[in-house]
Chains A and B, each alone.
Chain A
């Protein structure tokens, strides 16, 4: 019973490098989200998707790109990593629109940019 799986769990990057975080859910959920969590800042929404092939910007989208080519996967890309992107990234999914349904979270991906 996997739920929401994020890979990798840990990654260290140098400034300017690129990488992709993968989120996979096996619950057939329509809605998927990427959040970042920083100390003292809580969770902030980066991008979200309301279905396969759709993406939309959240509160802090700059420096990130996303894709939802398959319903079960939501990818978060950093084209040119910056130290300000050091954070813990959480993916979540839900079967209903966010405010009406429960969000299921992955265990997080800890990214450090040197």
Chain B
């Protein structure tokens, strides 16, 4: 079963605004990752945050992790039209111990 659930399912903002997406998961994790998927393309890795980290930055991306609440957030600052995509959080798949479980994703639309 899917471990992570993103919220909101869809988000529409204008260029220059910040976009925040949230991910909640059910069981303890070692790491949490965020991926991006442009329409009709494969997923691309954005960032990995370890369970002992609370915040991580990469360019315009800021990821936070709250293990006590079993939640993570992805903030994209100063959004651009090119940021339009679906964003997925992924956690380790407890059942396999090797693969990742992905949430259903947040669809982000950034309008000029």
Contacts and interface: CB of A to CB of B under 8 A. Distances in A.
Given A31-B98, A44-B102, 19 more contacts: A40-B104, A42-B102, A43-B102, A45-B93, A45-B100, A45-B101, A48-B98, A50-B98, A56-B98, A59-B93, A59-B101, A92-B43, A97-B97, A102-B33, A103-B33, A103-B100, A104-B45, A107-B42, A108-B42
B102 to A, nearest CB: 4
Given A90-B43, A105-B44, A48 B104 contact: no
B106 to A, nearest CB: 11
Contact of A97 (B2, B88, B98): B98
A11 B30 CA distance: 38
Contacts of A98: 92-93, 96, 98-100
Interface of B: 1-2, 29-31, 33, 35, 40-45, 48, 88, 90-93, 95-105
Given A102-B48, A108-B42, A42 B92 contact: no
Interface in A81-114: 90, 92, 97-100, 102-108
A2 interface: no
Contacts of B40: 108
| Range class of the A interface residue count | 20 to 34
B105 A42 contact: yes
Contact of A58 (B30, B90, B96, B103): B96
Contacts of B29: 99
Nearest to A50: B98
Contact of A33 (B92, B95, B99): B99
A103 B43 contact: yes
A42 B105 CA distance: 6
Nearest to A48: B99
B23 to A, nearest CB: 12
Nearest to B4: A42
A56 B95 CA distance: 11
CB-based closest 4 A-B pairs: A99-B92, A105-B42, A42-B104, A43-B102
Contacts of A45: 93, 96, 99-101
Query: Which of A41, A43, A99, A102 has most B Cβ within 10 Å?
Result: A99
